[in-house]
Amino acid sequence: MAFSVDMDRISRPASETVRSQCEMYGRFLDNRCFYPVKYWWLEEVDQTLSALGVNEVRVEYLAGDQDDGDSWSAKSVGLADEQARAVTPERIAEIEDPYTREAVTAVLGWIRTAAGRGHGIIGFFH
């Protein structure tokens, strides 16, 4: 589960869990291609993104726990967006594994969405 969220709205020592705060203040990012998924596969997605030139963020880093999550800062998302702009549809189409291609497409969409709002991304693995 991942959310585009204004990181200034999230308070880690708050009475609500970070996940609850993301549900209140953030925008859910479609991540159905990641369920079910084995944790090791996230590294494969990261390697594919890196080969495409998107190495400012790592999906593996979003595999935080169910309530507190892990995050990409708004700055990192903005830099990743700059990198992602160079990735052409043709390069994505060249990804052989259809599951990895779908995941890469989803992550690039997350980056565009969050960067367009000046947000970071918080993810939860469960």
* 3, part of any domain: no
- pLDDT for 108 equals 97
pLDDT means over runs of 10, the chain (126 residues): 86 72 89 79 93 94 67 94 97 96 96 96 78
Is 73 within 8 Å of 117 (Cβ atoms)?
no
* 4, part of any domain: no
Domain residue limits at 30: 10-123
Is 63 within 8 Å of 116 (Cβ atoms)?
no
Q: Could you give the number of structural domains in the chain? A: 1
* 28, part of any domain: yes
* 2, part of any domain: no
* 15, part of any domain: yes
Both tokens assigned to 24: 């209140």
* 5, part of any domain: no
Is 54 within 8 Å of 108 (Cβ atoms)?
yes
* 89, part of any domain: yes
Distance between CA 76 and CA 9 in Å, rounded? 17
Tell me the pairing of strands 2-5 and 27-29.
antiparallel
- pLDDT for 68 equals 60
Element (H, E) at 23: helix 18-25
